[in-house]
Structure 1
Amino acid sequence: MLKFNFKILFFLSFPLISISQVVNGNFEIVKSNFLPSNWGMNFFQPVVINTETGEVTADQIQYTWCIPSMVYASFEGQSGQYAMEISNAFNTTQNHVITGEVSIFSDATQDMPGWNPGVALGQFDEVSILGFHYKFLPVGNDIAQAQIQVFDAESNEIGSTNIDISGTNTDFQYIQTPILYTSNATPALMYIKFIMAKDGTNPTFGSRLIIDNVVTNLAALTNNANNTNTDVTIFPTFVEDEIFVYGNGQLDYKIINLEGKVIKQNSVQNYSNNYCKIEVENINSGIYLLTVNCSNGQFSKKFIKK
């Protein structure tokens, strides 16, 4: 029996990809075979070769849906038309569950990562968090996991984080966690993976995980919902005590830290000359995201508190 289980052995250089949002992180690019572009799983059906007759027989694999894949597009998008669904399969010949997983990769023409999962990072790409919307529909006590690894140009890992996914969530939940960096080297490659059973746990056939809007920085969160508008302006972006927002009507704002926590929010109705002043003198130094909603539209922008 021949069975292939590919691991990451090396990384090739990829063309630069702009990831203000992760490449096809909203899964709206769907191929004709109903697989999401740039996401897939290495899987080859186990076969047995009779050395005397040369006859080849393949294990029988049962999939969750009629699509012969453990990764496919879903119509249950949190936003837009599509999301990505991952499920387990069942090897009826050997009577065991095959764990579903998916990795991001750069070649949109392929259905699986092959030897080279991951995507290249440009000089100004920001990779500070791993965040996504998800539904999890386990049949048993499954624990799925999201993983991100960041590498430098020499293929050394310089940052990573994992997110465990458990419990039953029939409505979309949002989750994110900061990436823990161990080096100040320049990030050159990013590897994202979702797996239906974290190490040490057992997968159950029939469990489903639906993922949408994968991002790697706070600013990218706002790109998924049509919520930018050039008529709304904030300044400065390097702040000591105050931020000014130019807008109209009632203005609702939130200030979010790198861990995704809302540390300040308010609704302001009366402000002069269309300029709303937001006090930030009591906020700790660091990088934040300011999201604004007013009659002009919606807008988000990063700022640095000195």
Structure 2
Amino acid sequence: MLKFNTKFALLLYVIFPLTCISQVVNGDFENIKPNFLPSNWGMNYFQPVSINTETGEVTTDQVQYTWCIPSLVYASFEPQSGQYAMEISNAFNSSQNHIITGEVSIFNDATQDVPGWNPGVPVGPLDEVSILAFYYKFLPAGNDIAEAKIQVFDADGNEIGTASIEISGTNAAYQLAQTPIQYSSSATPAYIYINFIMAKEGTDPTFGSRLIIDNVVTNLAALAVNTNPTNSVYSIYPTVVEDKLFIDGNGQFEDKLDYKIINLEGKVVSQNSIKENSNTLLSIEVGNLNSGIYLLNVTTSNGQFTKKFVKK
């Protein structure tokens, strides 16, 4: 993992006005470069070369990539919403007979293709940085365990918060992953570092494994609007509820819906499955919830949608 450079982070914090800073730059991956790399996301990787110490001859290692693109990070045509997502994969160095682990970090300089020595982006003092959340598909070729991680720093370069999410199992349909950020200080966040890696420390990568990421956010308000357009027919009411929350599928219900209710701390407080064979409204009992704001995340065979509601 790259080391956080405090001096450079402070320089970025001074140069870029806070009003122009987005919490997760290109977190929906809709900004794609001509070389098919997602803007502001990348991996420090250079194809290895070997030097014969006797002859001085230089040869380039032969590397196999998952697709024809000579990169371990690239845009994907399999979005959760919009036109693009981001895909990460492993590569195989056949010259040295080992797997190259795919990894990606967010960085601030959109003119570059890789983060260099300074991954991460500044955040404004009023930005909410409370969770790490994203949608993902994971298609491992072996028993791979991937990992997502966020680190939060203050203006002096001290780490004040962190969170990580383990990604495992085969998920061919988009899943929502989220976790609250655990803070060790009340200092104001000034900089965040987000990283996805195809092999969690202590695990082995497999050539051919794929991880597709979309809609990376750091607050619940942003998560609530990242709904799947294919499920736009769904609505919930009332949005301010006492006992029962209703899901209206506009005549397009499926045999089974899986739902999770998530509080403002990013914790799942209720989850269940609803089986329904008719086109009637579906209801969820929420009377036992504490008063507050919640997200309802519903998974169908066509994808997922997330809606916000208030429990009285």
Q: TM-score range by the shorter chain?
A: 0.7 to 0.9
Q: Does residue 1:207 correspond to 2:213, yes or no?
A: no
- Distance, in Å, in 1 between the alignment partners of 2:186 and 2:288 is 29
Matches within 5 A, 1:70-149: 70-149=72-151
Which residue of 176, 179, 187 maps to 2:178?
Answer: 176
Matched, 1:19 2:22: yes
1:55 & 1:221 partners in 2: Cα distance? 53
> What does residue 288 of structure 1 align with?
293
1:301–1:133 CA distance, 2 compared to 1 (3 A): closer
Work out whether residues 61 and 91 of structure 1, in 8 Å CA contact, stay in contact via their aligned partners in 2: yes
Instruction: For structure 2, list consecutive stretches of 5 or more residues without a partner in the other structure.
Output: 233-237, 243-247, 249-259, 272-285, 297-304
- For structure 1, the 5+ residue unaligned runs are 229-233, 236-241, 245-249, 265-279, 292-297
Bigger CA radius of gyration: 1
Q: CA deviation at 1:117?
A: 0.2
1:275 aligns with: none
Q: Distance in 2 between matches of 1:6 and 1:255?
A: 36
Deviation at 1:41, TM superposition (A): 0.3
From 34, 37, 48, the equivalent of 2:36 is: 34
- Report matched runs for 1:215-230 at 5 Å: 215-225=217-227
Number of aligned residues: 267
Deviations, residues 177-222 of structure 1 (Å, cap 9, x unaligned): 1000011011111000000000000000000000011111100013
- Indicate the percent of aligned positions where both proteins have the same amino acid: 68
Shift of 1:302: 9.1
Query: In 2, are the aligned partners of 1:257 and 1:263 still within 8 Å (CA)?
Result: no
1:224 CA drift (Å) = 2.5
Structure 1 residues 282 and 203: alpha-carbon distance in aligned structure 2, compared to 1, 3 A threshold:
closer
TM-score computed with the length of structure 2 as normaliser? 0.74
RMSD over equivalenced CA pairs, Å = 3.6
Q: CA deviation at 1:56?
A: 1.9
Q: Is the 8 A contact 1:42 1:112 kept in 2?
A: yes
Contact in 2 for aligned 1:158/1:181 (Cα 8 Å): yes
Deviations 1:105-128 (A, max 9, x none): 011111100011000010111110
C-alpha displacement of 1:61: 1.0
Deviations 1:119-166 (A, max 9, x none): 001011111011111110001000000000001111111110110000
Partner AA of 2:207 in structure 1:
F
